[in-house]
Amino acid sequence: MNFSKSKGILAYFAVAAVILVFLIFGFRSLMKGADTTTFSDVIAHFDDYSVSEFSLNLGSGELKYKLSGGDDVYVYKVPSVSAFYNELFNETRNYRDEYNETHEIPLKYDLIPASNSSFWLNLIPTLLMIGVMIFVVISMSRSISSAGKISTVGKANVKPELDSKNKVTFADVAGADEEKAELQEIVDLLKNPKKYQDIGAKIPKGVLLVGPPGNGKTLLAKAVAGEAGVPFFSISGSDFLELYVGVGAARVRDLFDQAKKAAPSIIFIDEIDAVGRRRGAGLGGGHDEREQTLNQLLVEMDGFEVNNSVIVMAATNRRDVLDPALLRPGRFDRQVYVNYPDIKGREEILKVHSKNKPLAPDVDLKQVAAATAGFTGADLANLINEAALMAVKADRKAITAKDLSEASIKVIAGPEKKSRVVLEQEKKLTAYHEAGHAICHYYCPTQDKVSEVSIIPRGQAGGYTMALPDHDKSYASKSEMTEEIVTLLGGRAAEKVVLDDISTGASNDLERATKIARSMVTKYGFSDKLGPIVYGRDEDEVFLGRDYNSDRSYSEVIAGEIDAELRALIHGAYDRAIAILSEHIDQLHTVAKYLITHEKINGDQFMRLMNGEDLEAEERAAKEAEESTIRQAVDEAHEDAHEEDSTTKHDSDRQNYPYGDDGWLDISNDSEPGKKSE
């Protein structure tokens, strides 16, 4: 704090002190002015022997007294306790004895000894006033020093992980073997820089981790720092941006200064696209706060200063919006693409996340990995956690295969809504809709096998048809994408074929089918008429937003031809779906009726229905056999019980009725029990 600021604060303290003194003395004068009783008035009451009860605090001098015949309590603070006491109790006078001689009811009095509590009680008002004034002064000083806070805004909000006990290593990262091999070299450079310097190799300035969200980019960066054993400075890209102009650039400088002091070290910028977007795309031209921050970052990474011992790592899932100057060699020398894990990687990830969780013997993680194609590492971690929650809810001590299967569906489609009231008409429509999807899947050879069909609402869907791939796919052919459109339109086609009506339930199917068809025509060159040409640019206006003021890069004639090709693809797939369902209408009815009754079909049941097996008859036969077994067991139990009751009753009769000379007594007709019939 400079001298002028100190003088201002001292002036405020002086003013506050003057106000405080004035308030204290004013408060005391007001207190004194409020008391109109005089000492002579109090003594006169005692001289008249009209005081029947009193108490005197020998420390504070507070006198409380009552007059004869009254219940009012009078309070007075005597100026001198000793003088007042000598006035009542001296060698010539004893007020108590004189009062008791003239009154039937003796005097009640209490002399309270002096204590420190009275001092603190008297001090409370003063302390309260002082507290109020201190609060006011602090508030004023904060307002004065608000300008000084601006100097601290430029500090980077980063927490270096120097002595972290829970360091992440490559052993904690699964399903990214190639990525770990690429980053292992960075670790070796940090551990043994000399052998690289001897041969003239330079340490990379930066490593950019690119890939879809949830695949472990941040985890890989932490693993590099943990393996190398160097300080790790982590910060988000949005932390550089602030209201004040120039703060972002100042924070970049401060971040690199901290990293240089702790070198060798690693700087990790998560979501770098927040600060590293392409320059010159904003409404304000090239002079805005974000671009100044980016310019400073470019200078720090590859400017006039040499940062041989500081490696910058960054993560983003939007590489397309980054500034080209940021991506060139010398800044981000390496770009590591962290893609979706394959089946082997998914199995390894599942093993990592289930390491401390008990698994039932029926759990096969390899099978779970095969059924979760397209899952990210975060999805798999969520899958294991959801399965564990389901096991706890069911009061099981281990996670079963059923828990994992249900959790995988829950992660994809959401939880079941069994309590939702569904009309029979809507239930029938949903059953035929999902059956249409499933039948089209079955008769499209390039599509995956149906694993489950359900008409129980999940999330925003009234039902779902799940088809899981048998293996990971790297590419998609024209026939595969065409038949995928057929399966998507199978639900709408089933509604049209069976119910002769259509509903809004196929809105998401139509959206997905249209998106696939447009990609086939404009992106992948699958149209014979338009040829292998990409129409339209896949570039976004990085500041103004997607497709804002964008250039289509093709004429209106081509746009019409694109629309015609889209219609041809969609209509062709729709006609094929109707043809498939019309040809196999019996199977459509069978699957739909089974869904209406049971609400859910697994993959094995679906295949048996498609093979012509009568599951309903088998279930009825199994149910009848079970009921027959139960009835037989009940009948046998009744017979055993009847025989036992007969034996017991026979013994009971022999005990209750006496014997005569001719055997049992006849108690029929009008004869009385215990009497022999005539």
Q: Quick: pLDDT tens for 558-577.
A: 999 999 999 999 999 999 99
pLDDT exceeds cutoff 60 at 670 = no
- Average pLDDT score over residue span 581-606: 91
Between 240 and 222, residue with greater pLDDT? 222
- Between 141 and 666, residue with greater pLDDT: 141
Mean pLDDT over residues 400-417, rounded? 84
Distance (Å, rounded) from C-alpha 290 to C-alpha 284? 11
Strands 449-454 and 464-468: antiparallel
19 vs 363: which has the higher pLDDT: 363
Question: pTM for this one?
Answer: 0.63
Tokens for 339, please give them: 């893609």
The pLDDT tens digits for 443-469 are: 999 998 898 899 888 877 788 898 888
Range with the poorest average pLDDT among 16-20, 169-173, 253-257: 16-20
Q: How confident is residue 489, by pLDDT bands cut at 50, 70 and 90? A: very high
- Segment 634-648 shows an average pLDDT of 65
Active site residues: 434
Of 10-14, 343-347, 391-395, the range with the lowest mean pLDDT is 10-14
In this prediction, residue 444 carries a pLDDT of 94
Residue 291 — very low, low, confident or very high, per pLDDT cuts 50/70/90?
A: confident
CB 430 within 8 A of CB 410: no
Q: Which residue, chain included where needed, has tokens 């081509």?
A: 558
- What does the H/E/C string look like for 112-152? ECCCCHHHHHHHHHHHHHHHHHHHHHHHHHHHHCHHHHHHH
Q: How far is CA 478 from CA 475, 525, 553, 567, 623, in A?
A: 10, 10, 25, 16, 47
**Dist CA 388 CA 399 (whole Å):** 6
Over range 138-152, report the average pLDDT.
56
What is the per-residue pLDDT across 360-382, written as a single tens digit (0 to 9) for each?
998 889 888 888 888 888 889 99
What average pLDDT does this structure show over 265-271? 86
Report whether pLDDT(473) > 90.
no
Q: Residue 356: what are its φ and ψ, rounded to 5°?
A: -105, 20
Average pLDDT over residues 461-478: 84
Q: What is the pLDDT of residue 663?
A: 40
More confident residue, 85 or 488: 488
Higher-scoring residue by pLDDT: 173, 422: 173
Give every CB contact of residue 452 below 8 A, 6+ residues apart in sequence: 409, 464, 465, 466, 600, 601, 602, 603
Q: What is the CB neighbour count within 10 angstroms for residue 308?
A: 12
**Other C-beta atoms lying within 10 Å of the C-beta of residue 568:** 14
